[in-house]
Amino acid sequence: MADTADMIEVDGVEKVFTVRRRAGLLRREKREVRAVDGISFRVARGEMVGYIGPNGAGKSTTIKMLTGILTPSGGRVRVAGIDPARERTRLARRIGVVFGQRTTLWWDLPLKDSYRLAHRMYRIPDRRFRENLDRCVELLDLAELLDVPVRQLSLGQRMRGDIAAALLHDPEVLYLDEPTIGLDVISKAKVRGFLRRLNEENGTTVLLTTHDLTDIEQLCGRVMVIDHGRLMYEGSLDGLHEAGGSERTLVVDLERELPPMVTELARTVRVEGPRQWLAFPAAQSAAPLVAALAERYPVADLSVREPEIETVIAKMYAERPAPAPDQESDPDPDPDPDPDPVPVSGG
Ligand SMILES: Nc1ncnc2c1ncn2[C@@H]1O[C@H](COP(=O)(O)OP(=O)(O)OP(=O)(O)O)[C@@H](O)[C@H]1O
């Protein structure tokens, strides 16, 4: 069972939450939120897949079902051949989880103490623990941070610390929920480089949730898009850009104020003083556009902006019927009634 080619199997999975909310002074009414509404997908062993969608789409709920923190309301989930909800502790030894917004490290203790606890909790053989820790310390640049209490770490340092903690027990599957959120460019590059290497060298299967399309572009061969609890797209990132007709934006600083620039490769969508914004198809390279503009206009500086995931998905939606009202995302859910910590600290 454990050597199945598909590391993650999800068949017709649903998760329905019942939310109580005030409806008048004394009355409270119950409402169902279909956070995940019948999704099916596979992730092969050693694959690195992006799982994206707007806020409230159902990404975290899916990941929680894949760890066993949440039990599906319907459908079937298997990870490494294990039913996560039934055998959560057994599965915890085979998976690693990083929630970008929530640390699994001990806040008041030096970073290395959290690692020592993981060593004991997962009963990692001493030699294996040392090798894994040494590798993470080297590749994630943690040497200077091991003695620092976690609460004193910057967000980027803490994130690298969390990623290391999730990997000390050699998980075959790693779930990453927004691992680059709020990080500066250098920290993002470090995290992405590390993940690429981990996947190549260890064959770790990675499911990556992110709002940053550059994470997907640099790491994932395949992307799945979820919205209103349903899978809307599965394929390459380029295919997604095509399906959504999405555009990137070239921001051009000219040496002086000029009328809107004209080129057949893009549309000038905004002009503010000497700065102009040009939209062009996201699947197209910016190089010919840059060359064409530089030939005709006094260009001082340039940058390219990637489309927002929300915009790409909104464009895909323009062609589809609106979702039923009871599937709209809930602006005021129970904050987080999950009683359990994520498996890395609870397994
Ligand atoms: N414990 C809960 N109780 C009630 N509703 C919930 C609960 N957890 C999530 N929801 C609702 O389920 C839907 C999906 O939420 P989920 O957190 O999975 O979305 P997400 O795609 O991870 O969003 P984000 O990008 O904002 O983290 C939302 O409408 C959310 O309000």
Q: Best substitution site from 13, 19, 20, 33 to test ligand 1's pocket, by max atoms within 8 Å of Cβ?
A: 33
Residue range 294-327, pLDDT digits in tens:
999 999 999 998 887 777 877 776 655 555 444 4
Q: What is the pLDDT of residue 47?
A: 95
> For residue 241, is pLDDT > 90?
no
Ligand 1 binding pocket includes 39 (Cβ within 6 Å):
no
Ligand 1 binding pocket includes 297 (Cβ within 6 Å):
no
- Flag the least confident range among 39-43, 100-104, 221-225, 272-276: 100-104
> For residue 97, is pLDDT > 80?
yes
Ligand 1 center from residue 152 Cα (angstroms): 30
> For residue 4, is pLDDT > 70?
no
Instruction: Specify the pTM.
Output: 0.79
Q: Best substitution site from 13, 15, 16, 17 to test ligand 1's pocket, by max atoms within 8 Å of Cβ?
A: 17
Ligand 1 center from residue 269 Cα (angstroms): 35
Q: What is the pLDDT of residue 48?
A: 96
Q: What is the pLDDT of residue 320?
A: 57
Report residue 77's pLDDT band, with 50, 70 and 90 as the boundaries. very high
Q: Does residue 42 contact residue 7 with C-beta atoms inside 8 Å?
A: no
Residue range 173-211, pLDDT digits in tens:
999 998 888 888 888 888 899 999 999 999 999 999 988
∠ CA(250), CA(253), CA(258), 5° rounding? Answer: 105
Ligand 1 center from residue 318 Cα (angstroms): 23
What is the rounded average pLDDT for all residues in the chain? 87
Residue range 41-51, pLDDT digits in tens:
999 999 999 99
Report residue 289's pLDDT band, with 50, 70 and 90 as the boundaries. very high
